[in-house]
């Protein structure tokens, strides 16, 4: 049966037998929390916590707890809480708290009143299902067109449904005025606002591939991953379903790219001195590996182009 993408997407990822009920993210795709990279991301988290004077790290969409472990190793004096759909991984250090979450736009009831916290949602919002819509009729009068939902069945076949809710149409007019296919970010905006409401005092940070109003992806960005490959987006629970985030519509104080932020935090090292290769080859190789990881995470064509959405709450 064909239904709006937002519903099919939610069930495919977070239903009882959904993708994230069964699968660990790193079995299907790599992120900045993958081995060899996670220590650099953790250094950025710890630098931000120190700069903002925060004691508690809350990792929303914690995956397998990789980032939490790396932060704990760098800053053992900080409290750490992971919030995740998936069960607590075996072997996670017992001092790291683990809170189960319903998934998608839903957050756990118990996650409230956070104080002195850096609340980081790394690659969460791209996995929050959103309404996918199209403008009818087609160009050239896109701005005046009716915005109708795109429906999908379990095979991935799409059809066109009814006009979207007035709030979604208003979002499309304000935030995605051009382009025929629209990924309506209202569900992400609301999920982010809900996360902000859980914080009494701290810094909320969302990190994701994203886009701005001036340059939305003309054909949308819905993508599916399975076992390391890009596959057709089919909402049957067999693959991850993700779409880039309209970061400018999220409540924020600052939008900054990962490359800019790492530079600002002084995390980009110089090349190690060749002399070190003779006097301490192990230290030289370590410095070289670290620099390669930083280069990978600050490459503007890759993770360096990730948006960091910052919102201070007090
Ligand atoms: C793309 S993975 C990112 C994992 C990790 N942050 C990383 O960057 O490697 C998305 C993760 O978000 C989790 N997730 C989705 N919705 C969530 C929610 N509402 N609360 C907590 N975790 C959620 C999924 O279970 C999945 O592990």
The per-residue pLDDT for range 190-203, each reduced to its tens digit, is: 999 999 999 999 99
Our mutation pick for probing the ligand 1 site, out of 16, 61, 195, counting the most ligand atoms within 8 A of Cβ, is: 61
Query: Taking residues 293-312, what's their average pLDDT?
Result: 95
How many angstroms does the Cα of residue 124 sit away from the middle of ligand 1? 5
pLDDT (0 to 100) of residue 145: 79
Question: Across residues 175-180, what is the average pLDDT?
Answer: 93
Q: Is the dihedral of CA 176, 253, 125, 267 positive or negative?
A: positive
pLDDT in tens, 217-269: 999 999 999 999 999 999 999 999 999 999 999 999 999 999 999 999 999 99
Distance 270 CA to ligand 1 centre (A): 33
> What 3-state DSSP class applies to 84?
strand
Q: What pLDDT is attached to residue 11? A: 98
Confidence of residue 139 (pLDDT cuts 50, 70, 90): low
DSSP, collapsed to helix, strand or coil, labels residue 222 as coil
User: Confidence class of residue 142 from pLDDT cuts 50, 70 and 90?
Assistant: low
Centroid of ligand 1 to alpha carbon of 84 (angstroms): 6
Q: Rounded to two decimals, what is the model's pTM?
A: 0.95
Q: Is 55 exposed, middle or buried (0-12, 13-18, 19+ CB in 10 A)?
A: middle
Q: Are 86 and 171 in contact (CB under 8 A)?
A: no
What's the chain's average pLDDT? 95
Region 10-37: mean pLDDT is: 93
Identify the residues whose C-beta falls under 6 Å from ligand 1.
20, 25, 31, 33, 60-61, 63, 83-86, 101, 103-104, 106-107, 122-124, 127
Overall average pLDDT of the 294-312 stretch? 95
Which CATH code of 3.50.50.60, 3.40.50.970, 3.40.50.150, 3.10.20.30 fits the domain covering 31-129+185-209+244-262+294-313? 3.40.50.150
- pLDDT band of residue 140 (cuts 50, 70, 90) is low
């Amino acid at each position: 049966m064909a239904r709006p993408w937002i519903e099919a997407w939610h069930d495919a990822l977070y239903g009882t037998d959904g993708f994230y009920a069964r699968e660990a993210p790193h079995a299907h795709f790599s992120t900045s929390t993958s081995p060899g990279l996670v220590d650099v991301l953790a250094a950025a988290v710890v630098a931000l916590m120190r700069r903002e004077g925060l004691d508690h790290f809350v990792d929303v969409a914690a995956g397998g707890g990789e980032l939490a472990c790396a932060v704990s190793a760098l800053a053992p004096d900080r409290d750490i809480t992971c919030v995740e759909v998936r069960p607590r991984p075996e072997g996670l250090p017992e001092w790291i708290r683990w809170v189960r979450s319903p998934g998608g736009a839903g957050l756990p009831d118990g996650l409230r009143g956070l104080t002195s916290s850096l609340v980081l949602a790394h690659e969460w919002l791209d996995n929050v299902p959103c309404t996918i819509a199209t403008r009818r009729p087609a160009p050239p009068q896109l701005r005046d067109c009716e915005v109708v939902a795109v429906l999908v069945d379990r095979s991935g076949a799409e059809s066109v449904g009814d006009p979207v809710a007035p709030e979604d149409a208003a979002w499309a007019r304000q935030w995605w005025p051009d382009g025929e296919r629209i990924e309506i970010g209202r569900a992400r905006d609301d999920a982010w606002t809900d996360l902000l409401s859980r914080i009494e005092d701290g810094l909320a940070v969302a990190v994701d591939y994203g886009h701005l109003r001036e340059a939305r992806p003309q054909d949308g960005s819905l993508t599916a991953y399975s076992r390391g490959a890009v596959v057709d987006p089919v909402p049957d629970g067999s693959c991850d379903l993700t779409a880039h985030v309209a970061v400018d519509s999220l409540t924020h104080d600052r939008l900054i790219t990962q490359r800019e932020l790492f530079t600002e935090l002084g995390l980009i090292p110089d090349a190690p001195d060749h002399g070190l290769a003779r006097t301490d080859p192990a230290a030289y190789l370590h410095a070289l590996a670290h620099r390669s990881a930083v280069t990978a995470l600050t490459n503007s064509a890759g993770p360096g182009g990730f948006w960091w959405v910052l919102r201070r709450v007090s």
